[in-house]
Amino acid sequence: MPLHRLRRDRGRHRGGAAVSVLLPGSRREALELLARSNGAAMPIAGGTDLLVHWPQRQEEHDRAYLDLSGIAELRPVEWTPDALVLGGLTTYWDVIRDARVGRELPLLAVAARQVGSIQIQTRGTWAGNIVNGSPAADGVPVLMAYDAVVVLESVAGREEVPLERFYEGYKQMRRRPDQLVVAIRIPRRPYTFQRFVKIGSRRAQAIAKVGLAVTHSAAGGGGWRVVAASVAPTIRRCPSIERLLEEQAAVHSPEELLPAIARDVTPIDDIRSTAEYRKLAMARVLFYDVFRGREQGAGSTDHGRRMTDNG
């Protein structure tokens, strides 16, 4: 078990304290290291979020990190008769390159292309996007709209948690410190509607002001799924909007959707936008892309778009 000692920047940290990086060679070894550390070691995959915030988060410099990047068994994309299984180290780029994903579950590829730059797409992982817990994540909404299940593992065994029940609050989730996300299982079913829309300040490399993933399947266990990002402490489904779609309610304007939106989400004012703008933007996207779009046959071949604005 190699152990690397990375020196701190001595210009900012007197005394030269070190950071421990553990490099397990297998999934089993990684689980044993987590168990022995009593959850103190933080698993990292692509490390894209960790490294961006490293200079500002001084409290993260005095801990051990479990580098999972060398565990080949966590990398593959696997197709089974009833599911697509992403490994714990499957990257956005792995999904973009898989032509079968584009045919069967196209929102995964659409969302993957919205994540940062190509450099981030080749390192960032779907599992990392989940456990980072950002309410503005690009990958999580489409996974949730596809009824993804998070597969957790520890030395004590495996546990499966539906992604829609994984988050318990801002940056709080149903994952114990001794557990790794070893896979994400996405059911395979035919869809009649699939749409992902992201609103940001730029056409590329922008954090979402509002993100929406919407799917509909008539297959068993299907129905409408409306998942919103950047409008609540966690990414979440919108049951009031889903109910309107299931009932085929007549909606004549974006404003008619605002009461249902108010029941489903709780946006805030922050440096990127305002709560009022987010609700109005969400209403317009839902009305034109989903409620009107389903009547015009949209969402069956045109699966996503990115909108820019100054709101």
**Residue pLDDT, tens place only, 101-113:** 999 999 999 999 9
The candidate with the shortest Cα–Cα distance to 76, out of 88, 68, 64, 67, is 88
The candidate with the shortest Cα–Cα distance to 107, out of 227, 223, 208, 199, is 227
The reported pLDDT for the residue numbered 220 is 79
The reported pLDDT for the residue numbered 60 is 64
Token pair in block for residue 123:
């390192």
- Cα angle for residues 307, 308, 311 (degrees, 5° grid): 115
Token pair in block for residue 136:
């503005």
DSSP state of 91: B
The candidate with the shortest Cα–Cα distance to 245, out of 303, 208, 278, 289, is 289
Sheet containing strand 83-87, edge to edge, reads 77-79, 83-87, 180-187, 149-154, 157-162
Give the pTM: 0.88
CA distance 186 to 140: 12
Mean pLDDT, residues 54-81 taken together: 84
**Residue pLDDT, tens place only, 228-244:** 999 999 999 999 999 99
The reported pLDDT for the residue numbered 63 is 79
What domains appear along the chain, each with residue ranges and CATH number?
A: 3-67 (3.30.43), 72-187 (3.30.465.10), 193-308 (3.30.390.50)
Assess whether pLDDT exceeds 60 at residue 8.
no
Please provide the DSSP assignment of 48-70 as one string: HHHHHHTTT-GGGGSSEEEE-TT
CA distance 291 to 98: 30
Count of residues in the chain: 311
The 3-state secondary structure of 92-144, one letter per residue? HHHHHHCHHHHHHCHHHHHHHHHCCCHHHHHHCEHHHHHHHCCCCCCHHHHHH
Give per-residue burial for 147-186: e unless 16+ CB within 10 Å, then b.
bbbbbbbbeeeeeebebbebbeeeeebebeebbbbbbbbb
Mean pLDDT, residues 273-280 taken together: 95
- Is the Cβ–Cβ distance between 74 and 89 less than 8 Å? yes
Mean pLDDT, residues 179-208 taken together: 87
**Residue pLDDT, tens place only, 146-158:** 999 999 999 999 9
The candidate with the shortest Cα–Cα distance to 175, out of 27, 43, 10, 28, is 43
- Is the Cβ–Cβ distance between 151 and 185 less than 8 Å? yes
The reported pLDDT for the residue numbered 6 is 39
The reported pLDDT for the residue numbered 118 is 85
Average pLDDT over the chain reads 87
pLDDT band at 301; cut points 50, 70, 90 = low
From 36-40, 137-141, 292-296, the region with the lowest mean pLDDT = 292-296
Token pair in block for residue 300:
């069956």
Phi, psi (deg, nearest 5) at residue 277:
-60, -45
Pairing mode, if any, of strands 167-169 and 172-173?
antiparallel
